[in-house]
Each structure stands twice: as structure tokens, then as C-alpha cells.
Structure 1
């Protein structure tokens, strides 16, 4: 009997064992295949990075080599510099450097990219490269040469010693403090060199991008928690300050703020309000509750939002965008001075479409940009003159004057034209003084622009 059982079970066990071995072999092969693919991708990104940084150095040299009045060559060279820095940034993002501090080099490349792009996109025949900009390019030429040389040293070691990027990933993921991996050490050397470079003056158009907003720039003395409790209760219009809980965020940093939490009007509903540290100004408001089916129209929702803003002390605002989604209307308002809309002073309101209650407010841009524009100058071009710069096929549906911040971080007065072309809706901003197209935006389906007026 046992012999018969053994005769049956033995082949089955053998088959199972063979199947397990085959499955394990296939799994191991697939794992190795994935690792080889990842290693190849890392190697390609690294060698491309070294190549493009070397090309970057050469392209800056080419730009400096031509005559100082050669605007077309300067534009061509700067666009090539922008393209190469963008490619280098993309390749850095493909490498397993998330656990390795390489931020100085990334910031360095980012600033070169912004500087070259914005400079190349201005009219260099009217505004040629300044002495300061040429001096910056000479410094960047020298710096990029050093970075390229260091990367090529690492590249040589990688090739000669058959180093693997998968080992870099393992070394950085290790809890061991000692990281003597050749590639890691090479990248640390590059970042250390970059950190020692003197800070260049790229001009306000570039540096404004990197200048963080700080509550220190706001007026008013630092608020206390008791003051925030009172402000939160006053903002809701019904709460008792004793029911408000306040948390201080980011104490000792550039971004200290307060968050006030309190009950809503009904059971299960909650309210949170964020305030700036200086002056205790509201930068965000959220009323959390269950939203029912839609019961009001667009105009009623707009009226509720406008009344809410006036009640809370926000004056001279104009609705510019209406965007309904999931029974909530998202509306954007901007300050209006004379007949010009001040787009940087933006505030967003969310209205529940079941009863018109305002359930959200985002006022960060409004708070930090408020009154930054002291006076608004009228455009030199007339409306008819500005229209001549539009595509003849553009079907205009509305127009208005708007002050916007362009790619050079400059605040400029424009004519905003809304309309249709090629089957889609667009907003086109024409510079009110030069006629240049400052910005073109496609309006996604469902959004309503300027129809609220």
C-alpha cells in the first residue's frame, strides 16, 4: 500500500519541485532584467549629463565670442544655453540622487536656465546684453568649465572601474553613515564647488522667481494666539473665541502662521482658518460639510460670493473666472483700479451650489500682493491699435484691460482679449505699450470667463 502511495506522490513531488525551481529561475531572470534596465537608464542619464554640461560650457563660450552688438547670435546662443540647461536638469532628475544633497548645482542650473530664457526672449535689438549680463556670462563660462571637468573625472572613473549606479542607490539607502562610494563623492565635490561660487546678480526678473514671500514683508505686529481666536470668531460671525483652538505653524522660520480650528454651525461640520503671523491676516478659510445636489444658478452663486467678500472687508474686487465642479463653484476675483484688473491681487472663493454658502477662500496672493501696485498707468495703444496684433482668424468675444506679471516678472498693463480660434477658447494678453503678445492661455471646457459682468 505504501509502495503504491509512494509511486503516486513521488512523481507529483518531483514535478512540484521542478516547477518551483523553474518559477524561481524565471523570477530571478526577470529581477535581473529589471536591474539591468535600471542600470542602463542611470548610465545613459549620467553620460548625457556630462555631455550636455560640457556642451553648455562651449555654448556660453560661443555666445561670448561674437561681437557685443551681434543680437541674432546672442539670441541663438542663449536659446541653446537654455535648451542645454533644461536637458541637464532633466537628466539630474533621472539619477538616484534624492538622498544626496545636490541642490546647489540644481539651483545653479535653474538660474542659468531662467536667465538665458528670459534674456533671449526680449528684443535684443532694442535691449542688447548689458555689461552686467556679459560679466555674468563670463563668470558662468568659467564655472561651467569647472563643473564639466569634475563630472568628466567621475565619468572616467565610472568607465575605467566599471562602477554601477545601482551600488550608488544601495549606498545612499544604507543606514550606515560612511558613504565612500566614488560616484557619491564625485557629486558631493561638484556641489561643494558650486556652493563656493559668488552669488551673481541675474537681475530682478530672475531673482524675483527665487525670492520667497515672507510674512516679514507684511505690515503689522506679530499676532498672539488670543488675538487669532478673536479674529477667527469675528470672521465666522457666530463662534465664541473660547471654542477656537489655535496652532502656531513654522515657528522660527520664514513662514510662521496660525491655524484656527472651530466647530461649524451644525453638528459634524468644521471650520479652519489660516492667518499670517504679522498682522493676523486671513490667507485661507475652509468650511467642511456634506454638499448636497445643486439647487442654485450661476448668478446666485456669484451674488453669494460677492456679498461674502464685501462682508469680510474685501473691496473693489471683480469676478473674472467661474469654474463649477462637483456641486461647488470656484470663482476667482481680482482687484479693479480705475478700469484695469490687477491680476496679481487674486483671491479665490468656493461656493456650495446646494444653498450658496461660501465653503472656501484662498487669499494668499491677495494678501502678499495687495497694494504692491501703487498706480496704474493707462496703455499707450488704443483698443483698435491693440486689436491689429491679434491673429486675423481670432474671433473676439470680449476685451478688457488687465495688469499681469509676465515671464520677466515685470508687471505690465495689457489688453486681454477672449475669443475662439481653431475650435478652442483662448485668452490673449497684448502689451498695451508695445503690442507684444505677453501671454496666451487656453480656457479649458466648462470654465466661464468674463460672463459674470
Structure 2
């Protein structure tokens, strides 16, 4: 009996040691797999940004040379789309909004100014010398942007740079070295972008509009400690293991909504995969949140279920009367656009975006920057035209499926319109008729595919 006791204890310890080693190896392998997936995602985003900016530069050069109105409309449309794509990919990189404030302004203005010139062409007006000079300036900035991105690409390749190490804390020396390379290049890019002269035109990203103050924020200044508590509460106190603030960047003052920025480390998740969040310094509102975790390619959540979860999420966060608009699937998730409704009027400027992971239905993205820029107590006017009178302003062969009142942004103003959705010659469109004057304000084409819906 004594002999048996003598070998039982070591055997149990041996088995426990083997199990512990197996568990540790499995955790190590899982961590490495997550790290590789995250790194591949960041590398892909970086090269996508670079490619989109190259396309912006090339098409701007062509637009300056072209003397054909039809060709210019096509080129300007491509510039607009490439700039939007570049901004979307840039926003998913492991860097703060403040570090790319001037760059985001450039991309927004490249897209918005292209749209403005498209409208000028369609109205039959020639491009003026001042407008051509503005195009030349945008082209020079895109060229400078590409030069810095090429330098950055070369340096990253030489130094075996890992984007994910910008977030990692296990090796301070490597992280600081990588950040120095990355941040130095960002400063150079931002310095060049910040020198863009004012673009004077009537558009949502004109300098006059960009310099206006957010309408939906409280006036109270919030200290960082309170903002940190707000970030914890928004994500879920019980889900957060740790939180810390990260550098806001040299151009923090240029961000449209100045915010405190935080890394949140969820429980039961790798520390190399923090959730990023921005909390406004005025009012203490969560402006944006992104969770860059890899999403499993196996789709388990339907679009309908994802939309229901996104809507519930908004209601829990205090956003009532939000209605789903359009959605787009990409990178294993689906991004929904929600807009505010008041007095049976759809208010498009009050926009919130929510991204849902399709592997488990988790909310992995939230952007309320447009909502807080525009939301206000509105005195909605009574329409001067009836629905029937507005309908008479639309082509008779336009097959209308739905109609309602909506407020749309146009330059510095918001316009009350009748929104008519329907079909014309096999394609879907939205026509906006001014509810006060009867003018045709805007026409959008709806493009639907297996990944969602876009409007142009």
C-alpha cells in the first residue's frame, strides 16, 4: 500500500504537467495564429490604401488633361470612389484618427470636390481656372502622399516591420522602433497634407463646412478619467480586463470632434488585439469604436439577424427612432447605415454606422461622428407641396415603389424633400423633390449585389 502511494502522487503530477504543457502550447499556437491573421489584415489594408491613392493621383492627372466632358465625368467618378475606399481602409489601420486628421480631410475633399465638379459638368458649365488650380493642388498632394507611402513601404520591408507590434506590449524596444518609423512617415504625410489651400465651394467637405462645430455635443468639458469610465461602460464593464489611453497625435486639434482615445483589452482575448475607442472631450460621447479581431470566414449569422442585433445595440446605447438604411458586407462582417427619424421624417444627416461580425453577431464597429456633427433640435417645416404635387415633378414613366418625407444634406444646408424610390428602365433610383420649391434636388442610383447596396 505504501509503495502504491509512493508512485501515485508523482504519476498525478506528471499527468498534470503534461496537460499544462499541452494547454500552454495550444495557447501559444492560438496566439500566434491570431497574430498572423491580424498582421496579414494590416498588411493588406496598407497596400490597399497605397493602391487607392495611386489611382486617385493617376485619375487626377488624366482629368486635368482631358478636354471631354463625358470623359471627365467618368474620371471624377473614379477619383471619388477611390478616395472613399482609401479613407475606409485607412480608418481600419492601427493608428489614431488624430494622426491622420489632415490626410482624412484631403481624401474627403478629393471625393467631395470631384462630385462638385461632376455636378458642374452636368449643369453644362465649363471648369474655371480656379477649379483647375484646385484640381492641380489635389493632384500634387496625392503625389506627395504616394511618395511618402513608397518610402514607408521600403523602410518597413528593410526592417521587417510588424503592424501588429504597434499594439503589442511584450517587447517595448521593438514596438518603439516600429512606431518611430511609422510615426515619422505619418508626420511627413500629415505635414504635406496640412498645407492644402482652402477649397471654396458648396460641399459637405468644403473648408467652410469642415471648420464648423459639432451640433450634437454637450458644452461640458469632460476630463480624461471620466472619459475612460464612459469607454468602459460603453463596451461593458464586465467585459473589460484593462484599459489605457494612447497617444492622440500631433494633429489632434484638427480632428472634427476632438476625442480621448483608448485601448480596451477584453477579457478572454489576446492582449495584442485591443478594442479602440474615441470619447469626445466635449460632452463625453463615444464617437467611434472598432474591434480589429479576425472574423471567422464561416458565416453563422444572417443579414436579418445582424441587423436586429445592430438595432438592439443602438437602442441600448440610447439611440432611439433609428431606422436601417443600406448595408455592405466585407471582411467577414456587415456594415449597416442607420438614420434618425422625427415626426415621420427621415433625417439622413443624423447617420450612425454599425458593423456586425457574421461569425458570432458581435458588434465590431461603431461610428457616430456624422450623427454628433449634425444632430440638433430641428424645427421641421411644413411642406409647401403635397405628395401628389411633388409626384408630378417626377417622370411619369418612373415606377415609384415608395415615397416619404426626408431631410437631406446639400452643401451648408439641410433640405426637406419628398423621397421617391422606384424603377426606371430596369434600374433602381431615388429621386428627391424639394418639398418647399418643387425643385429636383438629387437623383441617386441604387446598386445591389450579393454584398449589399450602394448609392451613386
Taking structure 1 as the reference length, the TM-score comes to 0.55
Contact 1:216 1:278 in 2 (8 A): no
| Per-residue deviation, 1:209 | 3.7
Task: Tell me what 2:354 maps to.
Answer: 349
| Per-residue deviation, 1:264 | 2.2
Contact 2:245 2:261 in 1 (8 A): yes
In 2: Cα distance, 1:229 partner to 1:395 partner: 52
| Per-residue deviation, 1:248 | 5.5
Instruction: Please give the per-residue CA displacement for 1:407-444, whole angstroms capped at 9, x wherever unaligned.
Output: 4x221111111122243222211111222111111222
In 2: Cα distance, 1:245 partner to 1:365 partner: 26
The list of structure 1 runs, each at least 4 consecutive aligned residues, that deviate by more than 6 angstroms after superposition, is 99-105, 205-208
Long gaps (5+) in structure 2: 1-60, 66-119, 145-187
Q: Secondary structure at the match of 1:300?
A: helix
Task: Tell me what 1:405 maps to.
Answer: 409
Contact 1:228 1:246 in 2 (8 A): no
In 1: Cα distance, 2:437 partner to 2:214 partner: 35
In 2: Cα distance, 1:449 partner to 1:92 partner: 29
Q: 2:436 matched to 1:437?
A: no
Larger deviation, residues 398-407 vs 250-259: 250-259
In 2: Cα distance, 1:79 partner to 1:106 partner: 27
In 2: Cα distance, 1:398 partner to 1:383 partner: 11
| Per-residue deviation, 1:89 | 2.8
Q: How does 1:245-260 map to 2 (within 5 A)?
A: 245-247=244-246, 249=248, 253-255=253-255, 256-260=258-262
Task: Tell me what 1:379 maps to.
Answer: 383
Residue correspondences, number: 285
Q: 2:283 matched to 1:279?
A: yes
| CA pair 283-239 structure 1, distance change in 2 beyond 3 A | same
2:333 maps to which of 316, 328, 331: 328
| Per-residue deviation, 1:219 | 2.2
Task: Tell me what 1:425 maps to.
Answer: 428
2:310 maps to which of 294, 305, 313: 305
| Per-residue deviation, 1:241 | 7.4
| Per-residue deviation, 1:341 | 0.9
Contact 2:241 2:265 in 1 (8 A): no
Q: How does 1:75-86 map to 2 (within 5 A)?
A: 82-86=127-131
In 2: Cα distance, 1:102 partner to 1:334 partner: 31
Contact 1:349 1:362 in 2 (8 A): yes
| CA pair 215-328 structure 1, distance change in 2 beyond 3 A | same
Which protein has the larger Cα radius of gyration, Structure 1 or Structure 2? 1
Long gaps (5+) in structure 1: 1-40, 46-74, 119-204
In 2: Cα distance, 1:228 partner to 1:365 partner: 20
In 2: Cα distance, 1:214 partner to 1:206 partner: 13
| CA pair 362-429 structure 1, distance change in 2 beyond 3 A | same
Q: How does 1:46-445 map to 2 (within 5 A)?
A: 82-92=127-137, 106-107=197-198, 110-111=199-200, 114=201, 209-214=208-213, 218-239=217-238, 243-247=242-246, 249=248, 253-255=253-255, 256-268=258-270, 269-292=273-296, 293-371=298-376, 373-407=377-411, 409-445=412-448
Contact 2:240 2:264 in 1 (8 A): no
Contact 2:242 2:266 in 1 (8 A): no
Contact 1:340 1:401 in 2 (8 A): yes
Q: Secondary structure at the match of 1:88?
A: helix
Instruction: Please give the per-residue CA displacement for 1:128-153, whole angstroms capped at 9, x wherever unaligned.
Output: xxxxxxxxxxxxxxxxxxxxxxxxxx
Contact 2:215 2:375 in 1 (8 A): no
Contact 1:214 1:254 in 2 (8 A): no
Contact 1:406 1:439 in 2 (8 A): no
| Per-residue deviation, 1:86 | 2.2
Q: Secondary structure at the match of 1:295?
A: coil
Q: CA RMSD in A?
A: 3.8
